[in-house]
Every structure is written in structure tokens, then in C-alpha cells.
Copies of this chain bind each other. A is one copy, B any other.
Amino acid sequence: MLVVMQQGATDLQIQAVIDRMIEMGFDVHRSTGVIHTVLGGVGGKDEFDLGILEVMEGVKEAHRIVSPYKLASRSFRPQGTVIAVGEVQIGGPEVVVMAGPCSVESREQIERSAEVAARGGARILRGGAFKPRSSPYSFQGMGEDGLRLLRDAASRHGLKVVSEVMDSSQIPLLMEYADILQVGARNMQNFNLLRDLGRQRKPVLLKRGISATIEELLLSAEYILSGGNYEVILCERGIRTFETYTRNTMDISAIPIVKKLSHLPMVADPSHGTGRRDKVAPMARAAVAAGADGLIVEVHPDPDHALSDGAQSLFPEQFEDMMAQLRMIASAVGRTI
């Protein structure tokens, strides 16, 4: 830890900070400059409250040096993590596409979705059974019936299954039907859920919250990893900014940044990232061009009558066209789809 004292900080103030640092378990090195005194803290616990020092009299600023996350950092596993879901490998040379409707709505709808997904080249079928909706008056999902239909449709078409878990009580159910358990953006800091997901052994797809920094995303991954589950897939799906033309602003630069900071695979969700069907294909191309390990995309046999997220769901033909474009982009960056 480093603490920079203000210009003109008194000896008393400096001593008080040193005392506090020692009390926190640090060895303290004092370096007196012409303008500023700098205090370096070595040793100490990994976890401490930097703010305590920041608000002390005479302190200009304080910096944590050691990253608050460890298991999620690239240095923990420099070669990168490849997550195997059966024969599908996420984080390897293949750009893995997960596709399907926002929600499972009926046997026929999910069957047709699976067919479209498989034909287009997706490897994993997505579909929600429990829907967190911002209005209490909206469709809330089919529950276990939906999961069963999802699993059946996926199996018929040789696809794996990813589906969202909304709270810890749903984990056993999801374990039964899904291959990957998805944590939605609103739950990215639901730490109880993250801890419980760290204790089971299926891969977790962790979506970035709309106001989460990249560091916070990695800290949330750390919660899962620290429970012993090392199979975490990160996902960029748009952050909230002042621009309102799109529902969110997709932070494409998060893809190469996360790939550098962490060993975990990073995928992108251009459907939620834009909220508009006509922007999904360009942003999917951009994500793959920027180095994404995969995509999760909404496609629906009849988007205009979807019970949720219809506006951002692709028509089957659009999905096929997009997949053709993505194959070319993937090959331009040395990967396959």
C-alpha cells in the first residue's frame, strides 16, 4: 500500500498515519520528498479498508498495490483457462456461439429455436425459465417446465444448455437441466448466490452488471473461484451511460482488457448489449474482431410475438446471415466458428 501525504502535512499527521498502518499489520517505509512524504506499506492482510487512511488528516491519496482479486487474475494461470462442456471448448480456438430465445415459452417455440440455433452453427442453446422483469406485471417464466422443454430441445439438436439461475434456491434445479449456469447482470453482486455457485461444479456464465467496473466483474468471479469452482465464463453485455439510443452501451474494449487481466474466457452478448435487433449483427462482428471467445445471442422463431425481449431477438434468417459473417471475421482473427 502507498499513502501520499499532502503538501505541508505535519509530523503529527504523518505519525498518525504510520501508526494506523502498523496497526493494520504493515511494515512502513517513509520516503520524504521535497513536496510530498510517501509512506509505503509492506506485508499486512490482503483485505483492508483503504478509505480509513484516505480520510485521515493530511492524507492526499492512498493506493492499494496488490490486486483485490487473485484467483481471477491472469498471473494465476498465465496460459488461460479452457472450459470443456462435453466436447465444446470455451476459451480455445473456437468462437463458441450460444443462441436461443430470451425465455422458453412453449415446446414448439423452443424446438424451433433449437433447430435454428443448431443449423446456424451454435453449440449451446440458451433460454430462460425464471425471468427477472423490471415490472411486476410482466411474464415471469415457465419455471421447471421450461427447463425440461429446453433440455429436450437441446438434446434433439446436439446442443448444450445454458440457463439463468436467479437465486440459490434454484441451483439444484438448474444443476439438473443445464450445462452452464448463468448469472444475470442484476445478480453480478449477489454475493450469497456467487458463493453458493462456487460450491457446485458446473461452469458459470457471469454477466457484467450494467454499472460494474471491470475490476468489480473480476472480484465477483473471485467469489466463485474462491469456492473451488474454476470454471467461470465472463460476459460483456453493455453498461449504462448517458447515451440512450441503445438500451445500454456495449463496452467492446472490455473484451481485450479482460483477456489481458484474467485467464478466464470472455464472451459477449450483443442482444442485451444493444437492445435492438438491427444492431446485433454489427456488434457481434465487432466482439469477435476484438477477440471474444464466444457470443450469447437471442434468436426466436417469431420475435414479434416473443413474450420477452422480442425487440432484440433475431429472426431465424438474420441469425443465419450473421453466422455466415461471423465465420469470416473469426477466420480473419485466426479462429473458427
Contacts and interface: CB of A to CB of B under 8 A. Distances in A.
Interface of A: 2, 4, 6-8, 20, 29, 31, 33-36, 38, 40, 42-43, 46-47, 49-52, 54-55, 60-61, 63, 65-69, 73, 75, 132-138, 166-169, 186-187, 189-192, 194-195, 209-211, 213-216, 219-220, 222-223, 226, 239-246, 249-257, 260, 273-279, 282-283, 285-291, 303-304, 306, 308-312, 325, 328-329, 331-333
A196 to B, nearest CB: 11
Contact of A186 (B46, B190, B276): B190
Given A132-B189, A210-B211, A328-B333, 20 more contacts: A34-B42, A47-B138, A49-B310, A51-B312, A52-B306, A54-B311, A69-B135, A134-B219, A136-B226, A209-B211, A214-B245, A239-B241, A252-B283, A253-B273, A256-B282, A286-B287, A289-B289, A329-B329, A329-B333, A332-B332
A310 B249 contact: no
Nearest to A6: B75
Nearest to A189: B186
Contacts of A213: 242-245
25 contacts: A6-B75, A20-B304, A35-B65, A49-B308, A49-B310, A50-B311, A51-B311, A54-B311, A61-B63, A134-B189, A136-B223, A169-B169, A211-B211, A239-B243, A239-B249, A240-B242, A241-B241, A242-B242, A249-B253, A253-B273, A253-B274, A253-B279, A255-B282, A286-B289, A329-B329
A291 to B, nearest CB: 6
Contact of A55 (B167, B240, B311): B311
A257 B245 contact: yes
Given A250-B252, A257-B246, A216 B134 contact: yes
B249 A2 contact: no
Contacts of A169: 169
Most buried by B among A46, A134, A239, A252: A252
A93 B245 CA distance: 27
A289 B278 contact: no
Nearest to A27: B33
B49 A65 contact: no
Contacts of A254: 243
A310 B283 CA distance: 29
Contact of A166 (B63, B192, B210): B192
Contact of A282 (B186, B215, B253, B303): B253
